[in-house]
Amino acid sequence: MRLFRILGLYVMFIRRVFARPEKHGLYFRQVFREIDKLGVASLGIVAVISFFIGMVVIIHMTSSISNPLIPAYYNSFTTRDVLVLEFSSSVLCLILAGKVGSNIASEIGTMKITEQIDALETMGINSAAYLVQPKVIGMMLIIPVLVTLSIFIGLLGGWFIAVVGNMMTSSDYLLGIRFDFHPYKVVYTLIKSVVFAFIITSVSAFHGYHTKGGALEVGRSSTLAVVWSMILILIFNYLITQVMLG
Amino acid sequence: MIRVDNISKSFEGKNVLSSISVEFSESKTNLIIGRSGSGKTVLLKCLIGMHEPDEGDIWYDENRFTALDPDQQRTFRQQMGVVFQGGALFDSMNVEQNVRLPMDFFTDWSRGEKRDRVNFCLEKVNLPDVNKLYPAELSGGMKKRVAIARAIALNPRYLFCDEPNSGLDPQTAIVIDKLIREITVDFGITTVINTHDMNSVMEIGDHILFLSEGSKCWEGSSAEILTSGNNILNEFVFASELMKRFK
């Protein structure tokens, strides 16, 4: 019963978030601020994680696929598919749910308990739309970019360790990452990243916006935001994969 | 003028406000006083539409506020200025951006006109040259004054203050009280202040509403409050040693 109540509250919250903005120009500028604050600020961690995961995946592939009958370029081919299909969209978004989700929930939660949200409402401003809509739109624009960058950086990491570690030649590696390439898989991963971006921002903002109490509850909202974002990302990952690739 | 007609409010079966009727006049500082938990904040939140009364009506001049839907209420609130207990300034914005925010949303003024209005409001609250400071760099009294400047940014017809001098030293509290009084008279607005500070009551209380356990217990002026025969009110008014001696 409680789950249905929360679901109802979430739907009503999303309706308020996507209400017509009071002034489009203000929201438009805010979208770019959020892209910078939440997305561009995550570039460093995305690059570091992707580079190292790319290196680890190629090591796993070369050590697992050691049959002389299987061509060497299969290692980079499978590495590419791991990065494109799962790591750079799903795993990266799980990581971003922790970083960005907790940031959003604690920011909005603190605004709630210090009456900043009430202040916006009493000015006649739709606080849910002003605070959340630019975040959701900004993240839905920037996360696919981060995912694309993550794929390239991951492949670069794989190439670096494959060549430096003498696991395979550079030309074999490059042949593998181009072998049997279907652009549809990239479309699939970008669609997933847009859906995950929506989940991370809206769920985190929802938990922050409904914070009641003090600092302890802000921490609780932040934890709930991360946990629910992650659970929903995993569920939607399965559903989208079933629909698009199953 | 604000008219409250028989409003009641309860939370989870517990009556917090019972059939309160009162009229708050224009160009006057109207005070709602009472002990903690007497229903002052709930009444104020009903007035600004943050709580919906279970019964009764609230009228702003000829407008029946309680008959408006939430979106209409939000639009109507553009005529209100609210000063929250802690100031409720936006941490990510500097003083100028905080005061300018309502203008950004609801006016088509040029950048220069907005800057002039921000400076006018900040001068009105005796805070020139703080435009670029952030809330974290301000003292408690300065935060309250910036909050007042933001509340008057769009020339509101109604001003609400929730415990405007809580947490302030007595001298700063008097400065804030006098400031609110001055703004009320200068701009001809209807001001409602929620307080339990007896200094404020004596200093600026044109019209006082005393609440006890969610009910209207007494209503009058600051001159009448000291000579009232209401026992519950007297217990509240003469609770401190200073007031007892004064009596």
| ipTM rounded to 2 decimals | 0.87
Spatial distance between the Cα atoms of B245 and B247, rounded to a whole number of angstroms: 5
The proportion of chain A whose per-residue pLDDT surpasses 70, expressed as a percent, equals 100
User: Which tops the pLDDT comparison, B138 or B199?
Assistant: B138
Residue A166's domain spans which residues? Answer: 39-245
Sign of CA dihedral B129, B131, B135, B140: positive
As a whole number of Å, the end-to-end CA separation of chain A is 33
β-pairing verdict for B215-220 and B80-83: unpaired
A124: closest chain B residue by CA:
B74
Q: Where are the beta strands (DSSP E) in chain B?
A: 2-11, 14-24, 29-34, 55-60, 63-64, 80-83, 158-162, 190-195, 207-212, 215-220
pLDDT, residue A121, reads: 92
pLDDT, residue B175, reads: 84
The reply to whether A132 falls in a domain is: yes
A20: closest chain B residue by CA:
B71
For residue B61, give every residue at least 6 positions away whose Cβ sits within 8 Å of its Cβ, in sequence order, or none.
B1
pLDDT exceeds 90 at position B150:
yes
The proportion of chain B whose per-residue pLDDT surpasses 90, expressed as a percent, equals 60
For residue A107, give every residue at least 6 positions away whose Cβ sits within 8 Å of its Cβ, in sequence order, or none.
A208
Spatial distance between the Cα atoms of A177 and A61, rounded to a whole number of angstroms: 13
Instruction: Summarize pLDDT for A22-51 with one digit per residue, the tens.
Output: 889 899 999 999 999 999 999 999 999 999
Q: Which domains does chain B have, with CATH numbers?
A: 2-246 (3.40.50.300)
pLDDT band at B104 (very low <50, low <70, confident <90, very high): very high
Q: Which of B49, B76, B88 is nearest residue A119 as measured by Cβ atoms? A: B88
pLDDT exceeds 70 at position B177:
yes
pLDDT, residue A117, reads: 95
Name which of B11-20, B139-148, B227-236 the model is least confident about: B227-236
Cβ-based contacts of B84 with chain A (< 8 Å): 115, 118-119
The reply to whether A32 falls in a domain is: no
The reply to whether A195 falls in a domain is: yes
Sign of CA dihedral A53, A58, A64, A65: positive
pLDDT, residue B203, reads: 85
Q: Do B105 and A22 touch (CB under 8 A)?
A: yes
The reply to whether A232 falls in a domain is: yes
Does B161 touch chain A if contact means CB atoms closer than 8 Å?
A: no
Instruction: Summarize pLDDT for B2-48 with one digit per residue, the tens.
Output: 999 999 999 988 999 999 999 999 888 999 999 888 999 999 999 99
The reply to whether A21 falls in a domain is: no
Instruction: Summarize pLDDT for A75-104 with one digit per residue, the tens.
Output: 999 999 999 999 999 999 999 999 999 999
The reply to whether A1 falls in a domain is: no
The per-type count for chain B, helices as H runs and strands as E runs, is: 10, 10
pLDDT exceeds 90 at position B240:
no
The reply to whether A205 falls in a domain is: yes
> Average pLDDT for residues B70-82, to the nearest whole number?
90
pLDDT exceeds 80 at position B243:
no
pLDDT band at B52 (very low <50, low <70, confident <90, very high): very high
pLDDT, residue B82, reads: 94
The token duo for B214 is 């969610």
Does B102 touch chain A if contact means CB atoms closer than 8 Å?
A: yes
Residues 177-206 of B with CB under 8 A from A: none
pLDDT, residue B247, reads: 67
Instruction: Summarize pLDDT for A205-236 with one digit per residue, the tens.
Output: 999 999 999 999 999 999 999 999 999 999 99
pLDDT, residue B64, reads: 95
pLDDT, residue A1, reads: 81
Cβ-based contacts of B74 with chain A (< 8 Å): 121, 124-126
Q: Which of B85, B88, B105 is nearest residue A125 as measured by Cβ atoms? A: B105
Domain count, chain A: 1
Name which of A108-117, B47-56, B229-238 the model is least confident about: B229-238
Q: Residue A23 is which amino acid? A: K
Q: Which of B76, B82, B106 is nearest residue A119 as measured by Cβ atoms? A: B82
Spatial distance between the Cα atoms of A82 and A73, rounded to a whole number of angstroms: 14
pLDDT, residue A107, reads: 96
Alpha-carbon distance B240 to nearest alpha carbon in chain A (angstroms): 30
Helix, strand, or coil (residue B50)? coil
pLDDT, residue B55, reads: 94
Alpha-carbon distance A147 to nearest alpha carbon in chain B (angstroms): 29
The overall average pLDDT reported for chain B is 90
Spatial distance between the Cα atoms of B20 and B17, rounded to a whole number of angstroms: 7
pLDDT, residue A77, reads: 94
DSSP of A23-36: -HHHHHHHHHHHII
The reply to whether A91 falls in a domain is: yes
pLDDT, residue B198, reads: 84
Query: Contact A38/A100 with Cβ under 8 angstroms?
Result: yes
> Average pLDDT for residues B97-102, to the nearest whole number?
95
